[in-house]
Amino acid sequence: MTAELRPRSDWEAVDLGIALSRRDFWRLLACWWLGMLPPLVLSLVFLRDLPLLMLLLCWWWMPVSSRLVLFVMSRRLFGELPGWRAILREWPRACVRRFFYRMLWARLSPWRPLTMAVEDLEGLRKKDYATRVRILLRRGDATVVVLALWRAFLTAWLAVAVFATALMFLPSTEAEVWNLAMKEWSGNSWAGLPQGLLWTGVSAVMLAMSLVDVFGTGAGFGIYVNHRTWIEGWDVELAFRRLGNRLRGVAGAVMTLLVFFAISPRSMADGTPKEVISDVKAHPDFEVFKHTWKERTPSGSSGGWSGPGDWFAMLISGIGWTLLGLLIAFFVWMIWRYRHVFKGAGISLQKPVPAAARVVMGMDVAPESLPKDIPTAAMELWRVGRRHEAMSLLYRGTISRLIETGGVEIAESDTESDCLRRVEAEAAAHSGYFGGLTDAWMTLAYGRRAPQDERMQELCATWPFSSERRPA
């Protein structure tokens, strides 16, 4: 593995994908243009005088280039950098794989950077593909959509920037011709614009598309890898779902049999259904009583509704009450949505206390899993050379005490930075000590550099929960 796989937030996963794209940027960019060769060759042969149609064709063909980028990134993640021979062998498959679905039906899908990984890397089709995509989109669906909007905006912005930069380097005479043509252009036809101007605009858009799609594909791959990390037991979930579907069918059949056997003896004992219905209807409880009365209205009043005007008034009244109810519901929702504002104003709103986390970043922080005297046990491990275990014990023991006695709400999915921010938000949570401990822990865990013995002795000696120690 050439990247650390751990549960991340959605935007941390986007950062991971962009970092993977940046690591092999030039190779990925070359692969992108390799995938774009067919429409470019066809356009230069048949659409030489129609640059805008060429741009549309290249935009439509862009998933093929994205597939080659994804091919290189996925292999690179597991330590294998594909050579150009392997990339050329993958190129025909990238052009024809699920062509009609990807290039026609799902061409405008905003989830393409995520769902294309399911097609290419997992090879799923039909129902398996749909089930897998639904599971992946349960987490981070909004992030993928926002990423698609970001790609469209950034492509347009970058294309305008490149085009404006190209205008700055034009000779003065050519620049005047182009400026005059753009001022006189009415937007009805592109035929009046100079070919050089059109080709410069198309080239700017193509360059922007290539740059944005390389990093956009990497961001989507980062989200996909993160989702796989979060839901790595999805096969078990699918098995339970299939079992549940079968049980629902069995339950329906059993219920039908129970109803049939519950009704059949009674029907056989009481006679035919027609006789049973007649006996039930003959019971006094089913006798129909009728009572007729006439209401007298005062003189000058016709009673009831006099005409369409009254019905219209009733309709207006109903609409008014409905709008009033919606307005009240909106205010109630706003109060609940921004209840933290009222807390600062002195209004106390009850908030359910979340259950204390027992596992943080894969480390067991339950109090019963820790020794009674954490600093002493950590120092003993440090002296015998088990430094990673010693620092891990001191770090998770501190997190456990912060949750148990400090009242810090640390979630299971929090990273070291998240834990530090939560501790710094609590005034009495020993943020100074925890910040130094976090730096020492991350230096050892990720940087592979152990702190000095004096630093470890200082961390154990100044442990803020030393009053809780008990004699061994």
- Residue 349: is its pLDDT beyond 50? no
Beta carbons of 41 and 250 less than 8 angstroms apart: no
Tokens of 391: 């620092």
Confidence of residue 253 (pLDDT cuts 50, 70, 90): low
- Residue 213: is its pLDDT beyond 90? yes
**Three-state helix/strand/coil letters over 221-245:** HHHHHHHHHHCCCHHHHHHHHHHHH
Q: Which pLDDT does position 412 carry in this prediction?
A: 78
Beta carbons of 97 and 120 less than 8 angstroms apart: yes
- Residue 311 has phi, psi (to 5 degrees) of -65, -40
Q: Tell me the average pLDDT across 449-466.
A: 86
Handedness of CA 383, 384, 385, 388 (dihedral sign): negative
> What are the tens digits of pLDDT across the range 184-195?
665 555 666 777
Q: Which pLDDT does position 470 carry in this prediction?
A: 40
Quote the percentage of the chain above a pLDDT of 90.
Answer: 12
- Residue 359 has phi, psi (to 5 degrees) of -135, 125
User: Which amino acid is residue 250, in one-letter code?
Assistant: V
Confidence of residue 211 (pLDDT cuts 50, 70, 90): very high
Alpha helices in 271-307 (DSSP H): 273-281
- Residue 387: is its pLDDT beyond 70? yes
Confidence of residue 451 (pLDDT cuts 50, 70, 90): confident
**What span, in angstroms and rounded, lies between the C-alpha atoms of 251 and 257?**
10
DSSP 355-379: PPPSEETTEE--GGGS-SSHHHHHH
Tokens 């944005």 sit on residue: 212
CA 10, chain centre distance (Å) = 6
Q: Tell me the average pLDDT across 12-29.
A: 91
Tokens of 463: 């442990």
Beta carbons of 113 and 147 less than 8 angstroms apart: yes
Tokens of 397: 């023991």
Q: Which of 177-191, 238-252, 345-359 has the lowest mean pLDDT?
A: 345-359
- Which residue did the predictor score with more confidence, 87 or 414? 87
Confidence of residue 319 (pLDDT cuts 50, 70, 90): confident
> What are the tens digits of pLDDT across the range 147-167?
888 889 999 999 999 988 888
- Which residue did the predictor score with more confidence, 267 or 197? 197
Confidence of residue 139 (pLDDT cuts 50, 70, 90): low
Going by C-beta distance under 8 Å and a sequence separation of 6 or more, which residues neighbour residue 466?
375
Length of the chain in terms of residues written: 472
Q: Tell me the average pLDDT across 321-348.
A: 70
User: Which residues on neighbouring strands pair with residue 360, listed in sequence order?
Assistant: 363
Whether pTM > 0.85 for this model: the answer is no
Q: Which of 266-275, 388-397, 452-461 has the lowest mean pLDDT?
A: 266-275
- Residue 96: is its pLDDT beyond 90? no
Confidence of residue 54 (pLDDT cuts 50, 70, 90): confident
Which range, 19-28, 234-243, 447-456, has the best average confidence (pLDDT)? 19-28
In the chain, % helix, strand, coil (3-state, to 5) comes to 70, 0, 30
Q: Which pLDDT does position 158 carry in this prediction?
A: 92
> What are the tens digits of pLDDT across the range 393-427?
888 888 888 888 777 888 877 888 888 888 887 76
- Which residue did the predictor score with more confidence, 471 or 143? 143
Q: Which pLDDT does position 371 carry in this prediction?
A: 87
Rg of the chain (C-alpha set): 35
Confidence of residue 444 (pLDDT cuts 50, 70, 90): confident
- Residue 355: is its pLDDT beyond 90? no
Q: Mean pLDDT over all residues of the chain?
A: 77
**What span, in angstroms and rounded, lies between the C-alpha atoms of 115 and 312?**
52
DSSP 57-116: HHHHTHHHHHHHHHHHHHHHHTT----HHHHHHHHHHHHHTTHHIIIIITTT-TTHHHHH
**Three-class secondary structure of residue 453 per DSSP:** helix
User: Which residues on neighbouring strands pair with residue 363, listed in sequence order?
Assistant: 360
Beta carbons of 267 and 276 less than 8 angstroms apart: yes
Confidence of residue 68 (pLDDT cuts 50, 70, 90): very high
Nearest to 465 by CA among 414, 397, 384: 397
DSSP 317-360: HHHHHHHHHHHHHHHHHHHHHTHHHHHHTT-----PPPPPPSEE
